[in-house]
Structure 1
Amino acid sequence: MQPHLPTAVTIKPAQEFEAQQSVSKQAWVASPQLASAGARNVGLDALRASLTLLVVMHHTAITYGAIGGWFYREVSTDRSLSSTLLVYFCTVNQAFFMGLFFLLAGYLTPGAVERHGTRRYAIDRFKRLGLPLLFFGWLLGPVTIAMAQTARGHAFADTLVKLLRDGTFENGPLWFAQALLIFACVAMLWLKLTPRLQQLWPGQGEIAPWPSNVAMLGAATVTGAVALVLRVFWPVGVNVWGLQLGYFSSYVVLFAFGCFAARHHWLEFLPADKVRTWWRVALLALPTLPIVYFLGRAVPGLREPVLGYVYAFWEPIVAWGVILKLLWEFQRKFTVLDGLWKSLVRRAYTIFIIHPPVLVAVALAWRGVPTNGLVKFAVTGTVTCALCFIFAGWLLRVPALRKIL
Structure 2
Amino acid sequence: MWYLLGIHPAIRGPPARSLAHGQQRRVASGRQEHLDTLRTFLTGLVIFHHTAIIYGGEGGWYYVETTRKNALLSAFTGTNQSFFMGAFFVVSGYLSAQSLKRSLSRANRLGEHTRSRACWTFFKGKLLRLGLPTLVYTLFGHALTLAAARGQPFTLDFYKAYLTDWLANPGVRGPPWYCALALIFDGLFAAHSSLELPSLPVYRYTPPLMLALLPVVSFFWRRVSPLGWNFTPLGLHSAFLPQYIIAYATGIFLSGHSHLVFPDKASQTPRTKWWTSPLPAVGLYAAFTAFLLTYGPTRAVLRDPTPLFGLNYVAFLYCVWNEIGFVALTHSVMRIAHLWTDPTPRGGRVLPRLAYGAFLVHSTVCTFIPSAMREIQLPPVTKTVVVGSLCTALSFCLSALLVRIPGVRNVI
Range of TM-score over shorter length? 0.7 to 0.9
Residue in 1 that maps onto 2:30: 40
**2:227–2:237 Cα contact (<8 Å) kept:** yes
**Structural mapping, 1:124-273, within 5 Å:** 124-150=125-151, 154-157=152-155, 158-167=157-166, 171-197=173-199, 217-241=208-232, 242-265=235-258, 266-269=260-263, 271-273=272-274
**Structural mapping, 1:222-371, within 5 Å:** 222-241=213-232, 242-265=235-258, 266-269=260-263, 271-274=272-275, 275-291=278-294, 292-294=296-298, 305-336=312-343, 341-371=348-378
Query: Quick one: which of 34, 50, 60 aligns to 1:59?
Result: 50
Distance of 1:295 and 1:167 partners within structure 2: 39
Distance of 1:57 and 1:340 partners within structure 2: 26
**1:67–1:77 Cα contact (<8 Å) kept:** no
Q: CA deviation at 1:136?
A: 0.5
Residue in 1 that maps onto 2:87: 100
Letter in 2 for 1:248: L
Identify if the C-alpha distance between structure 1 residues 379 and 37 changes in structure 2 by more than 3 Å, giving closer, same or farther.
Answer: closer
Identify if the C-alpha distance between structure 1 residues 190 and 35 changes in structure 2 by more than 3 Å, giving closer, same or farther.
Answer: closer
- Aligned-partner SS, 2:349: helix
Greater relative contact order, per chain length (Cα 8 Å cut-off, separation 6+): 2
Residue in 2 that maps onto 1:205: none
Distance of 2:282 and 2:211 partners within structure 1: 14
Instruction: State TM-score, norm by structure 1.
Output: 0.81
- Aligned-partner SS, 1:399: coil
Consecutive unaligned residues in structure 1, runs of 5 or more? 1-16, 22-32, 201-207
Q: CA deviation at 1:221?
A: 2.4
Identify if the C-alpha distance between structure 1 residues 91 and 290 changes in structure 2 by more than 3 Å, giving closer, same or farther.
Answer: farther
Q: CA deviation at 1:159?
A: 3.5
Identify if the C-alpha distance between structure 1 residues 288 and 55 changes in structure 2 by more than 3 Å, giving closer, same or farther.
Answer: farther
Distance of 1:311 and 1:115 partners within structure 2: 40
- CA offsets, 1:232-258, max 9 Å, x none? 011111011211221011110111121
**2:37–2:341 Cα contact (<8 Å) kept:** yes
Query: Quick one: which of 380, 398, 403 aligns to 1:396?
Result: 403
- Aligned-partner SS, 1:105: helix
Identify if the C-alpha distance between structure 1 residues 397 and 318 changes in structure 2 by more than 3 Å, giving closer, same or farther.
Answer: same
- CA offsets, 1:196-230, max 9 Å, x none? 33999xxxxxxx9xx56xx6553332111111121
**2:307–2:315 Cα contact (<8 Å) kept:** no
Distance of 1:235 and 1:276 partners within structure 2: 32
Identify if the C-alpha distance between structure 1 residues 198 and 221 changes in structure 2 by more than 3 Å, giving closer, same or farther.
Answer: closer
Residue in 2 that maps onto 1:87: 74
Distance of 1:301 and 1:175 partners within structure 2: 25
**2:142–2:173 Cα contact (<8 Å) kept:** yes
RMSD of Structure 2 on Structure 1 (CA)? 2.9
Letter in 1 for 2:150: Q
Distance of 2:398 and 2:95 partners within structure 1: 28
- Aligned-partner SS, 2:30: coil
Q: CA deviation at 1:366?
A: 1.3
Q: CA deviation at 1:162?
A: 1.4
Q: CA deviation at 1:336?
A: 2.5
Q: CA deviation at 1:20?
A: 4.5
- Please identify, of 169-178 and 310-319, the stretch whose mean Cα deviation from structure 2 is larger: 169-178
Letter in 1 for 2:188: V
